Every structure is written in C-alpha cells, then in structure tokens.
Structure 1
Amino acid sequence: MSAFEIDVQPFPKAAVPVLPSAFVSLRLVQRVQETEDTVSFFFDVLSQPIRHYPGQALALNLPMASGVATRTFTICSNGLDGRQVVFTVKAGPTAYATRWMHDHLNVGDELDARGPFGQFSLVTHPGTPLLLIGGGSGFTPMMSMLRWLYERRETSDVVVVQSARRVCDLLFRSELATISAEMPSLQLYEVVSDPQAGEAWAGYRGFVDRAMIRAMVPDVRHRSVFCCGPGGFMEHVSRVLRAEGMDPARFYTESFGTAPVVTEAEGESVKAEGDRIAVSFRGRTVDVDPNQRLNVSLAGQGLRVPTGCGAGQCGTCRLKLTVGRVEMAHNGGLSAFEEAQGYILACCSTPKGAIALEDPA
C-alpha cells in the first residue's frame, strides 16, 4: 500500500487518491442523544489528524468486559477537520456492542481505532446531480456527505431523502432545516413509514414508492444515487428507482470491498488433495473448501479465528501466512508493513493451494 499526498483541487475532479488506513487514538468529548435509541459520539483525535472522505468508516476497538470487540461505524462528520470524528450509533435493547457504547462510553474515555475504510463517497463520483437516500441509521453516511457539501459551499444539485419508521426517529432535523435554508441547490424530503398516534406529520407517509419518487425526484434517471440502510430497504429502493428509469450502474450502496490480490509466503506448499485444500494451523492439518473464506472454513473445523467487521477492514482476524499462497481482498485492515511481514486477514482470504498459518505474535 502506498501513501498518497492529498491534493487540494476543487471538487469535482477526475481522480481521487486513496487515503491510507492508519491506527488512531480517540477521546470522547461529547455525547448527544439524537433519538431515544440513537446517540452521536464526538471524539477528538489524539494521534496524527485523520483524513477521511464523507461516507467512509472507522473500526473502533471497544474495551468491553468480555474482551475487546471491534465494530465498524460510518463516520458522520464531514471529513474536513482531521482533529475530530463523529459517529451516530443506534442501539436496540438487545444489542451487544452498540448497547455497551450507549450504556458505558462516557466523556473522557479513550478508544483505539483504525481507518478510514470504504469507497462509498460522493467524491469518487463527481460531475453529476445527486440523490442521497438513507433509511434509519443508514442516513448517517448521507449526513456526512451533505455536511461536506454544505461546509465547502458546493453548488451541486442534490436531493436528500431520509426515511424513518416514526417521526421521532428522524435524525438531525434541526441541522437539516438550517442546511436546507442556506443551500439553494438542495431539495430535502422526509418519509415516515408508520407515524404513531399523537405524532403530528404532514409529510410523506409509508414506504418510498414510485409515486413518491416521481414527486420528489422526477429526473432520477440523470442522477448518481447513494443509498444506505437495512438490506431490505436498499433492495426496495433499488427496485423502485430502476422502475423509474434509474441506470443501475449509477446506484451505489455502502460497500467496502476491493479487488483481490494474491499474497505468497516463502517456503514449499503441501500438495492439496482433490477438491479440498490442506491448511496447517494450531498444530492441526485440516482440509477446507478453497472457495470459502478462511475464517468460515476454519470455524467449520473447530478452529475459530476472532473476527470483527468481516469485511477486511478492522484487522481483528489477522493471521500470519508462513507457507503457501492466498487470494486476499482486504480494505485497509493491514498496513503495508504487516503485509510485508506475511500477515493476512482470514475474513477476506481464500487459499490458492495448501497453506500453513500461525496466530499473530
């Protein structure tokens, strides 16, 4: 991985450099209760300022009583000030790590983190009108992108749609009203699927449908669309927008994948048997499916590898490859130094022949 010097050309521009992933230390300086189950956490960056594009994410190491849990969250801040990052986190009553954050993370607490990750950002798709549509906590990357546009005084033609179940679940309403009043190029819409008794609501009701899209975004076929939310929400929105003429190639959802690369270790590989591949790990040699990611195939043999994000971002499932080759598609979960030392991530690697692995030192 190469470090890139970030230029200062105005948006839009033809090419956007990759921001290298790094370890950072954070200190919580403020908590804001956005809704009854959603909190915004404001962190100062204690280490070197971190650069991120709007829509990208960080992996946080949460020091829970049961052990450190690594979770990846979209950064909700605008990315223009590398000295602070904000995460807006929803936690239901039976949630695990996010519930811990709500109940135990207090001002003054410090966390380790890693990132940024992801290519879900409007800066990589310049030059077209935009539709930013988010459902529930999936609205947080949309807010990051909108804050970026607003703070930079961009004049991009942008439509923003926030969908929530209840009126009281809508996020950032006061801030959105301010941005909308001061940003002539913005059209802002809110959709509530199930307003509760006693909630005053004169806006759009129900699930986003074709009639709503025709009213809100009649020119959707000419826009680049960024969508985030629960899987069912994104699938539904995609179907609706395609029916209204949207080009599927211009529909972007939150995804952290990258092109695969092949990593090879020094030494001789053991011959694979049939359709299975031999993996030596923790004093055992087991046969695994070469088409399964290593964390999955090893778990099937009773060899569990701690895994955090599951998307090659956080580095929790790091192992050392001592013999053989793997195909790996990580997204910043390893530094260039770690790759040079032979480390791989089990959640995004498949063996290309028999291999030997070790737990990290």
Structure 2
Amino acid sequence: MGLQANFESLDETLAWKDDEMLECVSVVPEAPNTATFSFRAPSGAWFKYQPGQFLTLELPVPGGTVWRTYTISSSPSRPLSISVTVKAQADSIGTRWMLDNLRPGRMLKASGPAGLFTLPKRPNGKFLFISAGSGITPSLSMTQYLFDRGQSPDISFINCAKRPSEIIARRQLEGMAARVPGLKLNFVVEEDDPYQVWTGYRGQLNQIMLGLIAGDYLEREVYCCGPDPFMQAVRDMLNGLGFDMANYNQESFGAPVETAADAPEIDDVVPEETAAAEISFAASGVMAACTETDTVLAVAKASGLNIPSGCTFGICGTCKVKKTAGEVHMVHNGGISEEDVEAGYILACCSNPIGRVEVDI
C-alpha cells in the first residue's frame, strides 16, 4: 500500500515526458540475440508507468527511420531509469539495429509509456504469469514491481523457451524467488543445451504441467504474453479446464494494445453441451448423433466401436485416428505431433466434434 501511494503522489512535473530524448546508459546481454537496454532522462526526470506497459522507440536504421514498440521490462518502482528487453528474429530490422549499434551514450526519441496490459490498481491477489520467449518482459516488470512492494507476492510464474540458455532474466528472477517464498518459478524448455544439465520441464506447456505447477490455477488471475499460437494454446487449455476466462488477460508481444478499442476480439471455440454434433465412422458405416462436449472416443465406445486407447488425456497417443472430414476441437497434452495434425490425424480421447465429423474407423 505504501509503495503504491508514494508512487502515485510523486510530483507530476518531475516525470519524464516523451518530448525529451532518452539516453542509453547500459546494454546487458540476456540470451542469444537478446539484450536489455536501459535508458535515463538527461534532465533527471523520473519515469511513471504501469508494470506491463510498453514504449515506442524511434530507430534510425539504414534506409530510413522505423518505429518499434517494446514492452518495458523494468519496474516503475525503480523510476530513475527505464528498460526494454529485445530479441531479434531472423527478419528483424529495428531490433537487429539495436543489438548491433545501440550503445551507452546514444540518444533516442521515444513515445509512451502506454498500454492496457497491466496489474490491478491494488494488486493484492494471486497471479499466474504465463509467457513464451521475449513475451516474458511484462511478467518480469510485474514480478519486480510486486517484489519491490516489500511483502511476499503470490505468483506462479511460467516461462517457455526453446532451451535453457534462451530463458531471459533467469538470474534476476531466481534472485527474487530466493528471497520471497510466494514467488514460484517454473521454466519449460523444448530441448536441452548440449552438455548442460536440465532438471525442469521439457516439451510443450500442457494441461498436466499446468496442474502440477499451479494446482490452484482456478483461483488465480492469469496474465499471458507470447506469440499468438502460444496464447491460443493457453486459452484452449484454460477453457478445457473450466477456468473463468473473465480472469484471463493477454497481450501479444507482436502487437501491444494501447486502447480498449484496439484490442482484438477473442472468439475461441469452446464446445457447448447444448450444441448438436454428428460423427460418421466411415469404415464401419455407423453414424452417431452427439453433442460438442462428447469426445470422439466416447461416442465410438457408445456406438459399439473399438478405438484402442490408454491415458484418455491426450498423452499416450494410442487413440490416434484419421479425420477425413469436418472439424474437431482438440486440446491434447503432447500425444500427437504437429506433422500428424497437419496430415489430418486426431486423438479421439480429447477431440470434440464441431458439427458433422467423419473419421476413418
């Protein structure tokens, strides 16, 4: 309460305005093609913003100026400087220029801060931060802010990365977690680094991992940031687990939202118990009526057909069948490859028919 009150009562006339250029004061490597750039206001002005907001930088790249938007990775509880953590992709222009050319002493024009992806005004609840890659930056700002309030926050923190060496700000996060018992860190990687020991989660984040990491996820406010397919997968997981999506917040690191009108409409497919569906088991000549909340496996068994199955939770892959027509909503837990999905295969145990569906059984 004290930190929030003091922060809001700071003299507005001393706050940085974006008509003043920023001076780069430090560059800290974080991971391959990733660095944190910190800036100060030459006038000595302090920075006022909300954790999770973004800054737009004007970058003088060869061929003409470009404007790039980055989530602020520092915390407003430390208002004498402001930082962004950026990761260059293969086709990056502005971010690549920053990594190759931006050094302490260089001045940049910036606008902001802005954005709606922020914590509640009185952030005293239970939080679940889920991110992938450089989508970690708003979670990092929020976590640092909650840590700096001086009381142990209640945060379950999940970040997904390609490999351990690509986890951004890992030491910073571990330093905070070592001092407050309420911050629980969990990292999920797709693959190990050669000759390095990794004892954490591997693979793609799924419902089972989520339950193991944060068993009380139904009680938490979720903040999610990452590539659109990642956030779609997280929403599908939460919808499938009965999470109240009124407590879900997201922001794509590719397109931060400045006003509510700019926010893209989320229209996820959620199977409905009252919506009629139909499954044609083509090889058996059986047609079965059902609802969208029935699984292909359950309907097959009720129709006297046998689809081999094991876990019934999308893990083992035993119930993989070929879908030859129609659409299903499938939320699996790693039991099928992307290549098989693209080829038309589904896991019968976790696939819900949407309308009329035909499978090769």
TM over 0.5: yes
Residue number among 78, 81, 86 corresponding to 2:83 in the alignment: 86
The match for 1:56 is 53
The match for 1:174 is 171
Q: Would the aligned equivalents of 1:53 and 1:123 in 2 still touch at CA under 8 Å? A: no
Structure with greater contact order relative to length (CA < 8 Å, sep ≥ 6): 1
Residue number among 210, 214, 237 corresponding to 1:240 in the alignment: 237
Distance 1:232 1:144, change over 3 A: same
Task: Find out whether 1:193 has 2:194 as its counterpart.
Answer: no
Deviations, residues 120-167 of structure 1 (Å, cap 9, x unaligned): 111347342100111000001100111111122233311111110111
Q: Would the aligned equivalents of 1:21 and 1:116 in 2 still touch at CA under 8 Å? A: no
1:98 aligned partner, one-letter code:
T
Distance 1:138 1:93, change over 3 A: same
Q: How many pairs align?
A: 248
The match for 2:39 is 43
Which deviates the most, 180-189 or 195-204? 195-204
Q: Would the aligned equivalents of 1:228 and 1:234 in 2 still touch at CA under 8 Å? A: yes
Deviations, residues 13-54 of structure 1 (Å, cap 9, x unaligned): xxxxxx997434211111111111101111112243220111
The match for 1:104 is 101
Alpha-carbon separation, structure 2, partners of 1:188 and 1:8: 25
Structure 1 gap segments, 5+ residues each: 1-6, 12-18, 262-361
1:9 aligned partner, one-letter code:
A
Residue number among 140, 149, 153 corresponding to 1:152 in the alignment: 149
Which deviates the most, 252-261 or 169-178? 252-261
Distance 1:214 1:10, change over 3 A: farther
The match for 1:256 is 257
Alpha-carbon separation, structure 1, partners of 2:219 and 2:41: 39
Task: Find out whether 1:28 has 2:24 as its counterpart.
Answer: yes
Alpha-carbon separation, structure 2, partners of 1:199 and 1:240: 31
1:229 aligned partner, one-letter code:
G
Q: Would the aligned equivalents of 1:24 and 1:50 in 2 still touch at CA under 8 Å? A: no
Alpha-carbon separation, structure 2, partners of 1:74 and 1:183: 25
For residue 97 of structure 1, report the CA deviation from its aligned partner: 0.7
Alpha-carbon separation, structure 2, partners of 1:28 and 1:143: 20
Deviations, residues 168-197 of structure 1 (Å, cap 9, x unaligned): 111112222111110111111111122244
The match for 1:143 is 140
The match for 1:228 is 225
Alpha-carbon separation, structure 2, partners of 1:132 and 1:58: 21
Distance 1:165 1:259, change over 3 A: closer
SS in 2 for 1:155: coil
SS in 1 for 2:65: strand
The match for 2:202 is 205
Alpha-carbon separation, structure 2, partners of 1:252 and 1:20: 28
1:182 aligned partner, one-letter code:
R
* TM-score, length-scaled by structure 2: 0.64
Distance 1:28 1:10, change over 3 A: closer
Structure 2 gap segments, 5+ residues each: 8-14, 263-361
SS in 1 for 2:172: helix
1:152 aligned partner, one-letter code:
R
Q: Say what the alpha-carbon RMSD is for the aligned residues.
A: 2.3
Q: Would the aligned equivalents of 1:131 and 1:226 in 2 still touch at CA under 8 Å? A: yes
User: Which structure's CA Rg is the greater one?
Assistant: 2
1:73 aligned partner, one-letter code:
Y
